[in-house]
Amino acid sequence: MNTTHKSYWKENTLFGLLIGGSFSMASLLFIWGGKSVAMNPQLNNVIMLLTIFGVFVGAKKYRDEALGGVISYGKALGAGLYLLLIASAVYAIYTYALYASSDELFSTYKTNMLETLKLVYEGTPIYNTLLETFNMFLMPVSIAMGEFFNHIVTGGIFTVLLAWFVKRKPQDFQQQV
């Protein structure tokens, strides 16, 4: 049991770091390709695909290598959420560093957010309050925290489903062998 516990943290932490690194690399490829990363739906789609693939492969790898091919739904869900937590933290740190080091990128993000806010809320009673709050709290750290929670929530939804595909009962494993 102790070996499994050590293996859980080691394997899932390393794979979570790899997934988070792939998020950051995707963002860098967009930047190097001359595309904006500020509120870019294409980048978000690429990162979501990397999330789905990474969580599935990571949980399956943990099941096959550390648990001998058998895993419950709960353990698969826990492994997937832990992978997601590590990957999201890595990407949040990267996002903070990116926006803190580039005034141009931060300005682009702020402009895009203001345009969206204006498009959706202009003419409503809460528009001015939202605008003041937005200007007060928008900083690189708030962007990074937003990315962190965004990936946790959206990735968590997929992880709930992916854990069902990864789970394998002992009798299912014996039938395949």
Which DSSP letter does residue 168 get?
B
Total domains present in the chain: 1
Does 6 reside within a domain? yes
Map residue 71 onto helix, strand or coil.
strand
From residue 102, alpha-carbon distances to 115, 118, 124 in Å are: 20, 24, 33
Q: Which residue do the tokens 């039938």 mark? A: 175
Does 128 reside within a domain? no
How confident is the model at residue 1, as a pLDDT? 46
**pLDDT tens sequence across 44-70:** 999 999 999 999 999 999 999 888 889
Does 147 reside within a domain? yes
Q: Which two tokens stand for residue 44?
A: 């978000």
Separation CA 123–CA 114 (nearest Å): 14
Map residue 74 onto helix, strand or coil.
helix
- Domain hosting residue 10, numbered range: 2-101+141-172
Does 124 reside within a domain? no
Torsion sign over Cα 161, 53, 46, 130 = positive
Map residue 27 onto helix, strand or coil.
helix
**Per-residue pLDDT for 173 more than 90?**
no
Does pTM top 0.75 for this prediction? yes
Q: Are the CB atoms for 66 and 8 separated by under 8 Å?
A: yes
> Can you tell me the mean pLDDT for 158-169?
93
Does 28 reside within a domain? yes
**Per-residue pLDDT for 5 more than 80?**
no
How confident is the model at residue 36, as a pLDDT? 87
pLDDT band at residue 39 under the 50/70/90 scheme: confident
How confident is the model at residue 10, as a pLDDT? 85
